Chains A and B, each alone.
Chain A
Amino acid sequence: MSTQDDTNINVADGVDHQVAMVMDLNKCIGCQTCTIACKDLWTEGGGTDYMYWNNVETKPGEGYPRGWEESGGGWTDDGSERVAGEIPSREDYGRPWEFNHSEIMYEGSDEPLRPREGAEWGPNWDEDQGAGEYPNSYYFYLPRICNHCTHPSCVEACPRQALYKREEDGIVLVDQERCRGYRYCVEGCPYKKVYYNTVSKKSEKCIFCYPRLEGEGPDGETYAPACAEECPPQLRLVGFLDDEDGPIYKLVEEYEVALPLHPEFRTQPNVYYIPPYAPGQHTEDGESVDVDRIPRGYLRELFGDGVDQALNTIERERQRARQGDDSELMELLQHKNPAKQYRLGVFDDD
């Protein structure tokens, strides 16, 4: 890694700037609009039916693909060697179900509409299930895209250098000309965000909607990734990690309230999360008690030890705002965000 001259942010060797995204988990309603926006744009072709470059899963939960957090990949603790990983099975991703449409529509059957068979798992099978006991059960949604890591183990895993980080913005891409479908990237990514196209026999992944960033659309305008723009509660900020005037830099580096998912994988993700801030537990009589609803230990498992300080900072700033004081952090986390939600053109003149 190298430190850029004009910033104290570490970006990968040979990369000028690093795109980044912050997702505020307190705003996610699990509507999957981001998932569908992405799918409509990028994964509707043959061989991509099972892929969700953007997915939203319920935590605690198995996630998509099932059990991805235990599937290996990433780096050892000192970051020097890769950890062996597994390719998820087709069942772990979830197979499309066959429904009894023809019986109901054409054959006069009065049975309810339902999958014919094999409906035993799929993305979001465990949606809203969560954990805990009533009245203190809990869950939250976790939207996930490729983290466009600073130290990407998928890039290192490819024996053909078919995966690479773009020089201008650190977006991780699969060169479809070089890929031969070996799938070492699929097993090497600890987030399981590289997918194998079963028709083209090559690997594919989230491209951070780079053609939108580059204004390749019909109107020539620059847009943030579709998952961010289409989000009804607008929970995503998009920009560059090394843009010191942008909200992402402030949230990640200054306030340290936006955290990478599973930092122990050591890939240095560039998607960051504002951890969920749930109300405290209730007694059976409905009295509030000062006990975390979402166990702090579970949040540490997901977001690392920084989660304690992050939640403390958010609580402190909330109190300030409640008392009528100015809080830049609270403004950054609201839609009246003065630093702009999407800052994509800041380095265009470089």
Chain B
Amino acid sequence: MTNRRARALLVAALVGALVVSATVAVPSADARPAHEIPVSTMPEADLSTPSAPDWSRVPAADVPLASAPSGVPNAGDTSIDRVHVQAARSGEQFHVRLQWSDPTRNVTAGSPRAFPDAAAIQFPVDTSSRPPIAMGGRDNRVNVWYWAGNGATQELLAGGAGSTTTFQSPTVDANATYTNGTWTVVYTRDVTGASENRTTLDDDDRLDVAVAVWNGGNGERAGRKAVSEWHYFPTGEGAEGAPYQTLLWTVAGVAIVAVIGVTAFGVLRTHGGDGGGS
């Protein structure tokens, strides 16, 4: 084997190794699809409070927010533009933690002009299809977990803007803290807590989810709110990542290795021929 041939094989092997390692390593981190919010499974973790240390082990998604389209006055005047979302299953409980920056802490609705800060998570009632983003639709309703800074935690059902209805007995609990200009809210529900008009959390591989945040100090309430697009929790068996994505990367990696191999082989043959003729 000549030096040239050895060098070409080494390069090919290095490139191949790079591609393979990237294929294996990437899906759990940056290459996550844009609208996926990871869900960790942590059977023994305590995640029911906003400041529980175990939350540091749960990966977060940075979800952008924009003013919701709405007919209420000043609907475009909202002030929160992103929220960190974490989700995890511990035992039989499903937890979602929202974190966002809000320099004013508004926790009362006790005077005519006072509105509390608030946040909500929206799921389809029927997880097999994606409802209209603005509070669902008449035939495709949404189940909403609502928390407000004045202590109100509600579970809601809606089938379109203005149709929000409160469940008499909420199955969702919410805990919140406000430190250093940041709200942290943890919602907790039993995974098996589904019932009529309540979302089944582990029915499909994907659970669609959208988030809304209100800054009460800015007069935000009702349709005047900052909202995300539809995202999803990968909640199926392969909950650590989207299987199709790994498959795509593997196919791409094999193809690249093959191309490099063929190229290297061609180069070697060309150089080998030259050498033989000299």
Q: Which residues of A contact B (CB under 8 A)?
A: 82, 84, 87-90, 93, 159-161, 180-184, 186-187, 195-196, 198-199, 201
Contacts and interface: CB of A to CB of B under 8 A. Distances in A.
Contacts of A198: 109-112
Contact of B162 (A159, A195, A196, A199): A159
Contact of A180 (B110, B111, B164): B164
B182 interface: no
Given A159-B70, A159-B71, A159-B222, A183 B112 contact: yes
A184 B219 CA distance: 11
Nearest to B163: A160
Contacts of B163: 160
B113 interface: yes
A181 B109 contact: yes
Interface string B59-71: 0000000000011
Contacts of B221: 182-183
Given A160-B164, A161-B162, A90 B113 contact: yes
Nearest to A88: B112
Main secondary structure of the interface of B (DSSP, over half): loop
A89 B112 contact: yes
Contacts of A84: 73-74
Contacts of A187: 73
15 contacts: A89-B113, A90-B112, A159-B70, A159-B71, A159-B72, A159-B161, A159-B162, A159-B222, A181-B109, A184-B72, A184-B222, A186-B112, A195-B112, A198-B109, A201-B109
Nearest to B221: A182
A196 B222 contact: no
Most A-side CB within 10 Å, residue of B71, B72, B74, B111 = B111
B223 interface: yes
A161 B165 CA distance: 13
A274 B17 CA distance: 93
Most A-side CB within 10 Å, residue of B111, B112, B163, B223 = B112
Contacts of A88: 112
Interface residues on B, range: 10 to 19
B222 A182 contact: yes
A187 B73 CA distance: 10
A181 B109 CA distance: 9
Contacts of B222: 159-160, 180, 182, 184
B256 to A, nearest CB: 54
B30 to A, nearest CB: 40
B150 to A, nearest CB: 8
B36 to A, nearest CB: 32
A82 B73 CA distance: 9
A90 B111 contact: yes
Contacts of A159: 70-72, 161-162, 222-223
B272 to A, nearest CB: 78
A204 to B, nearest CB: 12
Given A159-B70, A159-B222, A184-B222, A93 B112 contact: yes
B225 to A, nearest CB: 11
Nearest to A160: B162
A195 B113 CA distance: 11
Contacts of B223: 159
B278 to A, nearest CB: 85
A161 B222 CA distance: 13
A93 to B, nearest CB: 7
A20 to B, nearest CB: 29
A88 B94 CA distance: 42
A201 B154 CA distance: 14
B224 to A, nearest CB: 9
A84 B112 CA distance: 17
A205 B164 CA distance: 22
> Ordered nearest first, which 5 A-B pairs have the shortest CB separation?
A182-B222, A160-B162, A90-B111, A196-B112, A198-B110
Contacts of A199: 110
Nearest to A195: B112
B65 to A, nearest CB: 20
Interface in B144-168: 161-164
A221 B109 CA distance: 40
B212 to A, nearest CB: 14
A203 to B, nearest CB: 10
Contacts of A82: 73
Interface in B109-124: 109-113
Nearest to A86: B113
Nearest to B73: A84
B187 to A, nearest CB: 20
Nearest to A182: B222
Contacts of A183: 112, 221
B138 to A, nearest CB: 15
Given A82-B73, A87-B113, 7 more contacts: A90-B111, A90-B113, A93-B112, A159-B70, A159-B72, A159-B223, A160-B163
Contacts of A180: 164, 222
B75 to A, nearest CB: 10
Contacts of B109: 181, 198, 201
Interface in B96-118: 109-113
